[in-house]
């Protein structure tokens, strides 16, 4: 009777590990994280081997130790990639309950005014070396991609304006340390936290603000564009699809925003990408 109970327990344990392994494989392949995947592969494969050995030789102590180690690594996975899991479950709930939000259409004139206000604010802040991190979101991007980010900050839902952006990033303002999220002609939220870039090629001289600006564009390359102003030098940079362009002139920044918002008749200029 005890052997029958043990076999059923082991079978359930092995099935659970198999499901987790499949999920982890899909997750790490999507994230292109090779080393973490290899580590979890070793842990899960070892645990399965211990389960099989327990069925044959009955080694409950080793099985319990193996189960504790596997559980520990699952917890580590959840902690390290909590933002990714949050996005996953939010997307799942949107599909299950039909929570996909629809955005009102914004014409080119409104987008042009918004872009010009952003450029004006960046010009002004660059002159006085005010650090800033502004995340632009494509107007057609679904809310399931922006909500997990805006929830980390303070909701504003305000029209974009140069004075408002300058006030937000004033060093004495409570929200100046985080990122501002802009979609179309509205500031969705301020003081938001962004995932940091994991790219080893990013220069060590760049700080957290630049790494965060690059990181969010790595999460969803087609949905986000970030503008970063250095507090130390006043240099204007922007990140797109995981790449950072520095020493951006106001004219080039305006062209980039027009491109991003798909506003017609934009004069192209050059910038230096790193």
pLDDT the model gives residue 16 = 75
pLDDT the model gives residue 29: 72
Query: Does the pTM exceed 0.75?
Result: no
Tell me how crowded residue 174 is: count the other CB atoms within 10 A of its CB. 11
Give the count of alpha carbons within 13 A of 179, CB side only: 31
| Structure confidence at residue 204 (pLDDT) | 80
Specify the pairing of strand 154-159 against strand 186-192: antiparallel
- What's the gap between Cα 92 and its chain centre? 17
Give the pLDDT confidence score for residue 187 in this predicted structure: 96
Render each residue's pLDDT in the chain as its tens digit; 274 residues.
Answer: 444 445 566 677 767 777 777 777 777 776 666 777 788 788 888 888 888 888 888 888 888 888 888 888 878 877 777 766 666 665 555 555 444 444 456 788 999 999 999 999 999 999 999 999 999 999 888 777 788 899 899 999 999 999 999 999 999 999 999 999 999 999 999 999 998 987 878 888 889 999 999 999 998 888 999 999 999 999 999 999 999 999 999 999 999 999 999 887 544 444 444 4
Chain-centre distance for alpha carbon 244: 16
pLDDT at 28: 72
- pLDDT value for 10: 65
Token reading at 3: 């052997």
For position 26, what pLDDT does the model report? Answer: 73
Residues 6+ positions from 62 with CB-CB distance below 8 Å? 50, 53, 54
Query: How many angstroms separate the CA atoms of 2 and 248, rounded?
Result: 71
pLDDT at 102: 41
Spatial contact of 220 and 236, defined as CB atoms under 8 Å apart: no
Alpha-carbon distance 155 to 89, whole Å?
21
Q: In this predicted structure, what is the pLDDT of residue 83? A: 65
| β-sheet bridge partners, residue 239 | 226, 244
């Amino acid at each position: 009777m005890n052997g029958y109970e043990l076999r059923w327990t082991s079978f359930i344990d092995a099935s659970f590990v198999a499901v987790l392994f499949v999920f982890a494989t899909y997750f790490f392949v999507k994230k292109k994280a090779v080393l973490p995947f290899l580590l979890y592969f070793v842990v899960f494969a070892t645990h399965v081997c211990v389960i099989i050995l327990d069925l044959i030789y009955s080694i409950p102590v080793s099985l319990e130790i193996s189960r504790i180690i596997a559980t520990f690594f699952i917890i580590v996975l959840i902690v390290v990639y909590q933002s990714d899991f949050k996005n996953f479950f939010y997307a799942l709930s949107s599909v299950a309950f039909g929570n996909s939000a629809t955005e009102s259409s914004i014409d080119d004139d409104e987008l042009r005014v918004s872009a010009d206000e952003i450029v004006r604010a960046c010009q002004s802040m660059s002159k006085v070396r005010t650090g800033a991190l502004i995340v632009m979101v494509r107007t057609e991007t679904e809310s399931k991609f922006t909500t997990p980010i805006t929830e980390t900050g303070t909701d504003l839902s305000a029209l974009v304006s140069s004075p408002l952006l300058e006030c937000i990033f004033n060093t004495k303002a409570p929200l100046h340390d985080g990122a501002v999220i802009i979609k179309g002609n509205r500031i969705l939220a301020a003081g938001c936290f962004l995932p940091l870039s994991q790219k080893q090629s990013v220069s060590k001289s760049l700080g957290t603000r630049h790494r965060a600006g690059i990181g969010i564009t790595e999460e969803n390359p087609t949905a986000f564009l970030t503008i970063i102003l250095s507090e130390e030098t006043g240099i204007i940079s922007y990140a797109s699809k995981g790449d950072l362009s520095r020493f951006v002139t106001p004219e080039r920044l305006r062209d980039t925003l027009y491109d991003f918002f798909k506003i017609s008749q934009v004069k192209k200029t050059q910038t230096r990408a790193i």
